[in-house]
Amino acid sequence: MTELSSTVSMDKIVSLARRRGFIFQSSEIYGGLSGCWDYGPLGVELKRNVKQAWWQATVQERDDTVGLDTSILMHPKVWEASGHLQGFSDPLVECKNCHMRWRSDELKEPKCPSCGGELTEEKMFNLMFKTFAGPVESVENIVYLRPETAQGMFVNFQNVINTTRRKLPLGIAQTGKSFRNEITTGNFIFRSREFEQMEIEYFVKPGTDEQWFEYWHQERFNWYIKLGIKKEHLRLYEHPKEKLAHYARRCIDVEYLFPHGWAELEGIANRGDYDLRQHSKVSGKSLDYYDDDTKEHYLPNIIEPSAGVDRSLLAFMCDAYAEEPDKDETRVVMHFNPALAPIKIAILPLSKKENLAAFTKPIFNDLRKQWAVQYDDTQSIGRRYRRQDEVGTPYCVTVDFQSLEDNRVTVRERDSMHQIRIPIVELKKTLEKKLAGEDILVLPPGGEVVQAKGKE
């Protein structure tokens, strides 16, 4: 068993998120609503970037997947077929420690059979939020807010196959809100009642499912590492056969070492043909796939990598957070991968003087066409660097009075704090290269190193 513990406390992340406008409590002025969160100006950028990075890796850069965006409200029969209606209407208790839910009428002792933890009060509990479609609040008008995005992809499988003329293996990917009336919420945005998912349903020929299951759990593990999560903070956990959900043949979780311990970031399941078989049975429609190569009809198997946007975002925040000695002080830095950083570049004119502002604004306006850029001209330059470090801005561009003479500006890198001075005509191209990973000390024509680390 590893002795590792998280390098940051949840309090620090919650406080930074609140202070700098990443995440607020929902309905805060009314005392908040438990299990719901609002993303502030920086949080919404970070969240968009997490989803964009996922979309790029799972749809944009692949030949074998397509995107989809399905509705949150679906026909109630969907939840009958999926098992969500029956599965969640028992008297339930939940373990306060490991969050396993148990049918209270089946428990032999008043403690969690899995870990021995304390149990919540018994409730007749269906995890799905219920509402009514249309003006009449009658039983036949009951609809549910989806507890996962997956079902929208299963029921559209035929539509996608028929309209895209794709062959298997084929993945359908979507991001979107899901709702679960969790008995216990907590650990900041880790477990909420309204959250966002990023799910792929990957349809394969039966018999090839194991091979694709192996592929996908590795692929998804590597995605987090590519985006900067430290390998030692990630691990894979395979669910033992006897604890698998009724639909799963195998399931492996990607776990992250959160401040509250190792916990699921994403689950990758081999669902066999359970979903298409169920929907075919309940809808009465054939969901068979005709394989042109082998001239066979069959129900595809499904591999499902299912990730949480909010959980990933929390992991990216925890892993990026650092407190580093800086002269006599400590600087707080978010070492976000540039692809995730909410602001890519800060433009900092040395003073508010009009001639400097007039010179700087066109540079700002040019860069913001391409990136999320922030213009900041208040307080000392050192304070401004610190503010940008704390929200993870990879590069600051400082414009000073010398710039008016020599048409050059200073580019300062967040992580190394190195500074280079380069011609404005080279700025855009240089930033493009730096954001793509080029060393700050590689200079464009006419550039020079002006300051080494720690001498700000």
Binding site for ligand ATP (CB under 6 A): 99, 148, 180, 182, 191-192, 195, 197, 264-267, 306-308, 310-311
* DSSP strand pairing (65-67 vs 170-179): parallel
What distances in angstroms separate CA 221 from CA 51, 209, 226, one per listed residue? Answer: 16, 18, 9
Please identify, using beta-carbon distances, which residue of 52 and 158 lies nearer to ligand ATP.
Answer: 52
In whole angstroms, the minimum distance from the beta carbon of 10 to ligand ATP comes to 15
Please identify, using beta-carbon distances, which residue of 316 and 395 lies nearer to ligand ATP.
Answer: 316
The span from the CA of 24 to the CA of 36, in Å, is 9
In whole angstroms, the minimum distance from the beta carbon of 386 to ligand ATP comes to 32
Please identify, using beta-carbon distances, which residue of 191 and 279 lies nearer to ligand ATP.
Answer: 191
In whole angstroms, the minimum distance from the beta carbon of 222 to ligand ATP comes to 17
What distances in angstroms separate CA 35 from CA 24, 40, 122, 191, 362, one per listed residue? Answer: 12, 16, 20, 7, 44
Please identify, using beta-carbon distances, which residue of 300 and 308 lies nearer to ligand ATP.
Answer: 308
The span from the CA of 40 to the CA of 46, in Å, is 10
Q: How many CB atoms lie within 10 A of CB 158?
A: 16
Please identify, using beta-carbon distances, which residue of 266 and 326 lies nearer to ligand ATP.
Answer: 266
In whole angstroms, the minimum distance from the beta carbon of 304 to ligand ATP comes to 9
The span from the CA of 275 to the CA of 150, in Å, is 10
In whole angstroms, the minimum distance from the beta carbon of 43 to ligand ATP comes to 15
* DSSP strand pairing (250-258 vs 234-238): antiparallel
The span from the CA of 189 to the CA of 70, in Å, is 24
- Residue 134 has, within 13 A of its CA and on its CB side, a CA count of 8
In whole angstroms, the minimum distance from the beta carbon of 408 to ligand ATP comes to 46
Please identify, using beta-carbon distances, which residue of 270 and 430 lies nearer to ligand ATP.
Answer: 270
Are the C-beta atoms of 436 and 446 separated by less than 8 Å? Answer: no
In the chain, count of helices (H) and strands (E)? 13, 24
The span from the CA of 345 to the CA of 338, in Å, is 10
Residue 163, token pair as written in the block: 């309209």
In whole angstroms, the minimum distance from the beta carbon of 225 to ligand ATP comes to 17
Are the C-beta atoms of 173 and 199 separated by less than 8 Å? Answer: yes
The span from the CA of 209 to the CA of 192, in Å, is 32
Please identify, using beta-carbon distances, which residue of 263 and 427 lies nearer to ligand ATP.
Answer: 263
Task: Please spell the DSSP secondary structure of 308-320, one letter per residue.
Answer: EHHHHHHHHHHHH
The span from the CA of 48 to the CA of 50, in Å, is 6
> Which residue has the closest beta carbon to ligand ATP?
308
- Residue 183 has, within 13 A of its CA and on its CB side, a CA count of 21
In whole angstroms, the minimum distance from the beta carbon of 263 to ligand ATP comes to 7
Per-residue HEC secondary structure of 14-44 comes to: HHHHHHCCCEEECCHHHCCCCCCEEECHHHH
In whole angstroms, the minimum distance from the beta carbon of 37 to ligand ATP comes to 10
Please identify, using beta-carbon distances, which residue of 305 and 338 lies nearer to ligand ATP.
Answer: 305
Please identify, using beta-carbon distances, which residue of 260 and 353 lies nearer to ligand ATP.
Answer: 260
Please identify, using beta-carbon distances, which residue of 235 and 433 lies nearer to ligand ATP.
Answer: 235
Please identify, using beta-carbon distances, which residue of 99 and 434 lies nearer to ligand ATP.
Answer: 99
In whole angstroms, the minimum distance from the beta carbon of 124 to ligand ATP comes to 20
Are the C-beta atoms of 427 and 370 separated by less than 8 Å? Answer: no
In whole angstroms, the minimum distance from the beta carbon of 370 to ligand ATP comes to 32
Residue 404, token pair as written in the block: 């008016």
Q: How many CB atoms lie within 10 A of CB 67?
A: 14
